[in-house]
């Protein structure tokens, strides 16, 4: 019995000792963590800030993309308006001014005059009228080449090159794939791009030779041009904003969903490459 009492006391001591131990363990685990708690709001604040920052960056990117798209749509609309205006002026010149001039020539031809000096004058006036009709046709054709719509880009380009070689004395080496076929809107963009390259070659490069290649594989059409003229410094800021030609070149390349590369340096000539898909892509079908 004495032994049993001793046992009970010793186990009670043991347990009471453990209570202290438990209390100390509990305090060291729970209370200190309650002291660390200011970190939690900091973490939450940092996460919220991170989310706000991400949201801000995402909306900035979205805003920029929307701006680029709006700008592109504005340029597309400008180009379409420009082409419509050109078409209207070309049609007015061809259908109204042309017949008017021919009528005047006919009336003058029917005049009967007695003396030689008047006859010479009439001949001179008829020559002026012929020159005016010819010039008017050139302007009208430049505005919208009839051959482009009737016979397609290859014949239109050949005609353009023959004319430029004759007038400006430049040699144009043109190689192409016979079976290139494009929608009328897309061939007009391509024609305008080549026309602008040609204008710049005459106006700025003063080149003797211009090489033009128009090739097609089943997926892509590639245009490559190279002149042996003066070239220019692409980084020279004084060239920027001088004219509309280069800007329109890029815009039309985009309308064709294509990539345009311009390579040039002073006295090294200019090389221009344009690659675009053979078929219209969804984003530009309206062009």
The contact set with ligand ATP (CB under 6 A) reads: 200-201, 203-205, 227, 229-232, 239, 242-246, 270
What does 232 interact with, of Mg ion, ligand ATP, none (CB < 5 to 8 A by kind)? ligand ATP
Nearer residue to ligand ATP within complex by CB, 81 or 102? 81
CB of 154 to ligand ATP, least distance (A): 23
CB of 214 to ligand ATP, least distance (A): 18
Site for Mg ion contains 200 (CB under 5 A): yes
- Cβ-Cβ contacts under 8 Å for 234 (sequence gap 6 or more): 262, 264
Binding track, positions 15-54, relative to Mg ion; x by CB under 5 A: ----------------------------------------
Query: Nearest CA to 154 among 177, 171, 184?
Result: 177
CB of 153 to ligand ATP, least distance (A): 21
Q: Give the residue nearest to ligand ATP (CB).
A: 243
| Residue 89: C-alpha distances to residues 45, 80, 142 (Å) | 65, 14, 11
Site for Mg ion contains 225 (CB under 5 A): no
CB of 141 to Mg ion, least distance (A): 19
Nearer residue to Mg ion within complex by CB, 152 or 245? 245
Nearer residue to ligand ATP within complex by CB, 231 or 258? 231
Nearer residue to Mg ion within complex by CB, 181 or 273? 273
Nearer residue to ligand ATP within complex by CB, 195 or 278? 195
Nearer residue to ligand ATP within complex by CB, 134 or 203? 203
Q: Which 240-279 positions form the footprint of Mg ion (CB under 5 A)? A: 243, 245
CB of 223 to Mg ion, least distance (A): 17
The token pair that represents 55 in the structure block: 């949201």
CB of 157 to Mg ion, least distance (A): 18
- Using CA atoms, how far apart are residues 162 and 155, in angstroms rounded to an integer? 11
Nearer residue to Mg ion within complex by CB, 200 or 251? 200
Residues that bind Mg ion (CB under 5 A): 200, 243, 245
């Amino acid at each position: 019995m004495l032994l049993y009492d001793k046992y009970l006391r010793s186990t009670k001591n043991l347990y009471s000792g453990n209570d202290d131990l438990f209390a100390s363990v509990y305090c060291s685990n729970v209370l200190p963590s309650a002291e660390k708690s200011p970190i939690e709001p900091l973490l939450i604040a940092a996460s919220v800030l991170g989310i706000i920052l991400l949201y801000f960056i995402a909306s900035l990117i979205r805003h920029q993309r929307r701006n680029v798209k709006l700008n592109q749509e504005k340029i597309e609309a400008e180009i379409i308006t420009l082409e419509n205006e050109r078409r209207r002026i070309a049609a007015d010149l061809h259908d109204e001014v042309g017949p008017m001039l021919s009528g005047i020539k006919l009336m003058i031809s029917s005049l009967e005059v007695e003396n030689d000096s008047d006859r010479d004058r009439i001949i001179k006036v008829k020559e002026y009228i012929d020159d005016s009709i010819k010039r008017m046709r050139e302007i009208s054709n430049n505005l919208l080449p009839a051959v482009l719509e009737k016979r397609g880009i290859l014949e239109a380009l050949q005609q353009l090159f023959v004319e430029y070689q004759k007038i400006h004395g430049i040699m144009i080496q043109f190689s192409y794939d016979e079976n290139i076929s494009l929608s009328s809107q897309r061939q007009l963009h391509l024609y305008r791009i080549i026309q602008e390259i040609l204008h710049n070659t005459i106006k700025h490069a003063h080149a003797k030779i211009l090489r033009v290649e128009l090739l097609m594989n089943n997926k892509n059409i590639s245009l490559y041009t190279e002149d042996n003229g003066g070239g220019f410094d692409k980084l020279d800021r004084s060239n920027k904003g001088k004219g509309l030609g280069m800007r329109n070149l890029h815009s039309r390349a985009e309308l064709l969903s294509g990539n345009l590369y311009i390579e040039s340096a002073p006295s090294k000539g200019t090389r221009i490459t344009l690659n675009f898909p053979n078929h219209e892509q969804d984003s530009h079908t309206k062009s």
